[in-house]
């Protein structure tokens, strides 16, 4: 960062202290070029992620919306709301970890499908058929194969585990 007086890049920190109720750090610096002092503030950028829709439009990622979609898919299915909340949180974390600034909507949908595939096969089928708008059964079978083969190793729908 340049000194506001002379543009020199080298300066030393004289003092650091929390600012804005701990949300930022205020640093008093001294320029090594002109020896004048100035103050900097450092604060984390609010994480934001935009979802780019197939139409090209974009909207800010909304975890609540993801959760609502999963709740709808799980209507009358034996899936606990807490499990869905955790799943929505995993979707959010994974998106923020792997995408910078924006994510195509398919990245969101695929993650939701993967979570539902693990939680409840019926909910998965409901969600996938609306979201993917399958035109033929083979396309659907292919998606199921992809769910089975992708994601964390050994993902098997809970219902299948329980049936064993």
Positions touching Zn ion (CB under 5 A) are 3, 5-6, 8, 31, 33-34
Q: Which is nearer to Zn ion, 32 or 142 (CB)?
A: 32
Q: Which is nearer to Zn ion, 5 or 41 (CB)?
A: 5
Q: Which is nearer to Zn ion, 11 or 111 (CB)?
A: 11
Give the number of other CB atoms < 10 A from CB of residue 75. Answer: 10
d(CA 107, CA 33): 49
Burial class (CB in 10 A: 0-12, 13-18, 19+), 51: buried
Angle at 62 between CA 135 and CA 79, to 5 degrees: 65
**Minimum gap (Å) between residue 105 Cβ and Zn ion:** 48
Q: Which is nearer to Zn ion, 15 or 139 (CB)?
A: 15
Q: What are the residue ranges of helices labelled H in 3-156?
A: 63-73, 81-98, 105-119, 121-132, 137-149
**Minimum gap (Å) between residue 33 Cβ and Zn ion:** 4
d(CA 118, CA 24): 40
**Minimum gap (Å) between residue 17 Cβ and Zn ion:** 22
**Minimum gap (Å) between residue 6 Cβ and Zn ion:** 3
């Amino acid at each position: 960062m340049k000194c506001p007086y002379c543009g020199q890049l080298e300066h030393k920190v004289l003092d650091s202290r929390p600012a804005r109720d701990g949300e930022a750090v205020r640093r008093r610096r001294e320029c090594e070029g002109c020896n004048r002092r100035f103050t900097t503030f450092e604060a984390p950028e609010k994480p934001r992620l935009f979802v780019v829709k197939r139409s090209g439009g974009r909207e800010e990622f909304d975890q609540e919306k993801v959760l609502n979609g999963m709740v709808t898919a799980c209507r009358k299915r034996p899936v606990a709301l807490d499990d869905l909340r955790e799943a929505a949180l995993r979707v959010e974390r994974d998106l923020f970890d792997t995408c910078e600034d924006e994510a195509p909507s398919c990245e969101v949908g695929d993650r939701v499908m993967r979570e539902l595939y693990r939680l409840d096969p019926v909910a998965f089928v409901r969600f996938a058929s609306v979201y993917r708008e399958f035109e033929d059964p083979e396309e659907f079978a292919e998606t199921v194969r992809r769910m089975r083969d992708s994601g964390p190793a050994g993902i098997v729908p809970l219902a299948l585990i329980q049936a064993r």
